[in-house]
């Protein structure tokens, strides 16, 4: 007997091979769902129970189930009904696409269709449609992905599972660093502030970091700092909504100076304050602040 988890939401993704199930799983993971792909249906109750017991308090989970699993059709609907009877908010999302689109996708990836065996890909698609008729009828949502590119599919899933809520905002991270210690590998945007006068050469400021108000004041007293920040703020205010519109879930902005202790740290501090004033949630990290310049 499974113990009911009051708030857990379980999205089970199935459908035709080549319709985008793995992509949908990846996108839901970006949207905050705990995800696992190709889980055998008999393990679904155990998976849900583990989510219920998780210390992280998992309340949104998504699972991909596939016809390639042995006895898939015989087991899945019974397990699905058991989950619902136990009180879980379990829903079935069925993905499909037109035959010509599926044929093109298999041709582009050069993957064999799981049901083609000795026949053609088209024979495999036809057989799979027939086998999944009953499952399709039980689906809570049917999504035809034929005419969606990757960003559109993510947008549809976002709208479907979040509506107009704001808790799927693009995750924005700022990182300060020193060029002498190497450029971070995961940056989407990089700004070099080595053109600013270096507080490290000021005896009264050398021992401080860019988190200190005195260092920040020294830099803000420079006309070029204010000109740079004005343009940087305008640039990011213009750019960030466009990144989000294109379906980007994470954006990492790096600001670098020579040693990563003064100028880059101060600029990240000021940029973070500006972004927070515009209502954005911002994570930040000063990678080299403890290094000696």
pLDDT (tens digit, 9 = 90+) per residue, 33-53?
Answer: 899 998 888 888 888 888 888
How far is it, in rounded angstroms, from Cα 64 to Cα 80? 13
The stretch 262-283 carries a mean pLDDT of 93
Reported confidence tier of residue 57, pLDDT bands at 50, 70, 90? confident
Reported confidence tier of residue 247, pLDDT bands at 50, 70, 90? low
Report the pLDDT value the prediction gives residue 244, as an integer from 0 to 100: 79
Reported confidence tier of residue 240, pLDDT bands at 50, 70, 90? very high
Between 55 and 105, the higher pLDDT residue:
105
Q: What angle do CA 109, 247, 185 make, to 5 degrees?
A: 80
Predicted confidence (pLDDT) at residue 263 exceeds the cutoff of 90: yes
Q: Which fold has domain 9-162?
A: Rossmann fold (3.40.50)
In this structure, the number of other CB atoms found within 10 A of the CB of residue 193 comes to 22
Report helix, strand or coil for 100: helix
Please, is 77 exposed, middle or buried when counting C-beta atoms within 10 Å of its C-beta (0-12, 13-18, 19+)? middle
Report the pLDDT value the prediction gives residue 89, as an integer from 0 to 100: 84
| Alpha helices per DSSP H over 97-249 | 99-109, 121-131, 133-138, 150-162, 213-220, 223-245
Contact 95/23 with Cβ under 8 angstroms? no
154 CB-near residues (< 8 Å, 6+ apart)? 27, 30, 247
How far is it, in rounded angstroms, from Cα 251 to Cα 282? 10
The stretch 245-250 carries a mean pLDDT of 70
Average pLDDT, the chain: 86
How far is it, in rounded angstroms, from Cα 94 to Cα 138? 9
Report the pLDDT value the prediction gives residue 202, as an integer from 0 to 100: 94
Contact 14/63 with Cβ under 8 angstroms? no
* Beta-strand relationship, 189-192 and 282-286: unpaired
Q: What letter does residue 41 receive in the DSSP assignment?
A: G
Tokens encoding 283:
């994570």
% of the chain at pLDDT higher than 70: 91
Side by side, the strands of the sheet bearing 141-144 are 34-36, 60-64, 9-15, 89-96, 141-144
Give the pLDDT confidence of 207-225 residue by residue, as tens digits. 999 999 999 999 999 999 9
Give the pLDDT confidence of 180-195 residue by residue, as tens digits. 999 988 789 999 999 9
Predicted confidence (pLDDT) at residue 165 exceeds the cutoff of 60: no
Report helix, strand or coil for 171: strand
Please, is 165 exposed, middle or buried when counting C-beta atoms within 10 Å of its C-beta (0-12, 13-18, 19+)? exposed
- Where do the domains of the chain lie? 9-162, 171-286
CA 108 centroid distance within chain: 25
The overall pTM is greater than 0.85: no
Reported confidence tier of residue 155, pLDDT bands at 50, 70, 90? confident
% of the chain at pLDDT higher than 90: 40
In this structure, the number of other CB atoms found within 10 A of the CB of residue 248 comes to 16
Reported confidence tier of residue 76, pLDDT bands at 50, 70, 90? confident
Please, is 64 exposed, middle or buried when counting C-beta atoms within 10 Å of its C-beta (0-12, 13-18, 19+)? buried
């Amino acid at each position: 007997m499974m113990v009911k988890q009051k708030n857990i939401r379980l999205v089970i993704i199935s459908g035709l091979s080549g319709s985008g199930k793995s992509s949908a799983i990846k996108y839901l993971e970006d949207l905050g769902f705990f995800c696992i792909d190709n889980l055998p249906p008999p393990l679904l109750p155990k998976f849900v129970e583990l989510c219920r017991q998780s210390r992280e308090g998992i309340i949104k989970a998504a699972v991909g189930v596939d016809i390639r699993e042995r006895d898939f059709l015989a087991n899945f609907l019974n397990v699905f009904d058991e989950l619902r009877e136990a009180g879980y908010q379990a829903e079935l999302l069925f993905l499909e696409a037109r035959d010509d689109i599926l044929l093109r996708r298999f041709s582009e990836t050069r993957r064999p269709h799981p049901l083609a065996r000795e026949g053609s890909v088209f024979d495999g698609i036809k057989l799979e449609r027939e086998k999944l008729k009953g499952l399709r009828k039980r689906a809570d949502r049917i999504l035809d992905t034929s005419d969606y590119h990757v960003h559109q599919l993510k947008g549809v899933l976002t709208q479907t599972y979040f509506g107009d809520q704001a808790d799927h905002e693009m995750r924005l991270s700022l990182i300060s660093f020193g060029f002498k210690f190497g450029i971070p590998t995961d940056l989407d945007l990089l700004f070099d502030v080595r053109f600013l006068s270096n507080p490290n050469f000021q005896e009264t400021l050398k021992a401080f970091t860019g988190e200190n108000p005195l260092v920040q004041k020294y830099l803000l007293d420079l006309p070029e700092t204010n000109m740079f920040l004005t343009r940087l703020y305008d640039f990011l205010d213009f750019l960030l909504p466009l990144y989000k519109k294109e379906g980007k879930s994470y954006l990492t902005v790096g600001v670098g100076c020579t040693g990563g202790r003064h100028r880059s740290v101060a600029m990240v501090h000021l940029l973070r304050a500006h972004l927070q004033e515009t209502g954005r949630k911002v994570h930040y990290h000063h990678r080299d602040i403890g290094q000696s310049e």
